[in-house]
Amino acid sequence: MRRRKAHYYRRTTLIAVFCAGTLIGIGVARRMQFDALLAGLFLSIMIGAVRRRSAMAVVITLLTGLYIGGWQGSIYMRKLALFDSYYNQTVTLVGTAMNDGVYGKQTALTFDLNGLMVKETGQSLVGSVGVSGFGENMVFRGDVLEVSGKMRAGTGSHQGWMSFAKLRVVRRDTSLIEQVRHKFSAGMLSALPEPLGSFAMGLLIGQRSGLPEATSEDLLHVGLVHIIAVSGYNLTIILRAGVTLFGSRSKYQTMVFSISLISVFLLLTGSSASIVRASIVSAMSIAAWYYGRAFKPVTLILLAAAGTALVNPLYIWGDMGWYLSFLAFYGVMILGPLVHERLLPPLVRDNMLVGIGMESLCAEVMTLPIVLHVFG
């Protein structure tokens, strides 16, 4: 007992415990409400307790994260309740397209809409609505639209869904980033024949709108559709390029160049759960490298997960891409090195292709259970 009382926990351990409590709180908030007063009370107690870094501090830190996450989740639950009055009603939503429209089987443009406002009442809504409709030749990411139709309850990451909606573009996104993205797409599609051009766009920036349906079906059938979705591995390549180009010159130049590339890549690819997570983790990793620090993989995973879930609790409530992203990240950062050191023969440990293959296999192993459960 004396040894346990005298033990001091590291700050990184307390950070990991706080993040774990936050994630649990957000998840529980789906079923119960949390009070802001208790969250503030636990926060004030934690500030005084963490200095001792004792076992009691760990418990208080866990409860503080639990109540702060639950409080944020409760706020979002009250906002989501506003959707109930609009389900099975014909409404007009004004919002921003989250991705480029894709033509479905009924020649309808399909895309996701966020930044929602109900035109009839002027009420703002959180989350996203899946839209399938007619009235415009094309919808690009960032366009502001009016969408009219009957809204049904959504599933997964969608809070609602509109089919056979009437579409009207209110304003096109003419920002510099979108202009660069469109020119890059046009250049890639001009340089490569189809379906290689669309396939390359999927590999580089996750743009699937131009991919032929037959190619998409082939990738789906063989279980390789994930390779045309941007992920943390894209950013790993970017970080390695930054270190290769500037690593021998200046750590500051390497950090600035890498962060700049990450920012541009995030703007080009959009704000999906997987790429936001990957950008946060990559930025923290390069910052830690610059200051001569090292993140424990578990702490880094929990910190990124709690940060993204606090900003948007909808990730943890129904975004399957968010879960798959962190499971794959766990496989690459934790399972991969363990297998590499304990199971691989010494002769092949330094082989780059073997390392890439092992990381990919570990990511697949971690995501396989949830993929089988959700997608069959």
Same domain assignment for residues 299 and 370 = yes
pTM, two decimal places: 0.78
Q: Are 282 and 262 in contact (CB under 8 A)?
A: yes
Condensed to tens digits (0 to 9), the pLDDT of residues 14-48 reads 889 999 999 999 999 988 888 777 777 777 777 77
117 DSSP β-pair partners: 94, 124
- For residue 160, what pLDDT is reported? 92
Same domain assignment for residues 255 and 150 = no
The percentage of residues in the chain with a pLDDT greater than 90, rounded to a whole number, is 23
Condensed to tens digits (0 to 9), the pLDDT of residues 197-221 reads 777 777 777 676 667 777 777 776 7
| CA-closest candidate to residue 116, choices 164, 154, 74, 63 | 154
Task: List, in sequence order, every beta strand (DSSP E) within 109-156.
Answer: 109-118, 123-125, 129-134, 144-153
Mean pLDDT of the chain: 82
Last residue of a domain, one of 81, 98, 116: 81
Q: Are 362 and 332 in contact (CB under 8 A)?
A: yes
Same domain assignment for residues 58 and 94 = no
Same domain assignment for residues 101 and 194 = no
d(CA 362, CA 330): 9
Last residue of a domain, one of 171, 191, 219: 171
What are the two backbone dihedrals, phi and then psi, of residue 227, each rounded to the nearest 5 degrees?
Answer: -75, -15
Same domain assignment for residues 253 and 221 = no
Stretch 7-11: mean pLDDT: 75
- For residue 167, what pLDDT is reported? 94
Stretch 349-360: mean pLDDT: 77
Stretch 329-347: mean pLDDT: 82
pLDDT at position 313 over 50 = yes
Stretch 91-107: mean pLDDT: 85
- For residue 123, what pLDDT is reported? 92
| CA-closest candidate to residue 281, choices 308, 320, 254, 257 | 308
Looking at the structure of the chain, the number of domains it has is 4
pLDDT band at 2 (very low <50, low <70, confident <90, very high): very low
Domain encompassing residue 318: 230-375
Last residue of a domain, one of 147, 171, 195: 171
Condensed to tens digits (0 to 9), the pLDDT of residues 147-186 reads 999 999 988 778 999 999 999 999 998 888 888 887 888 8
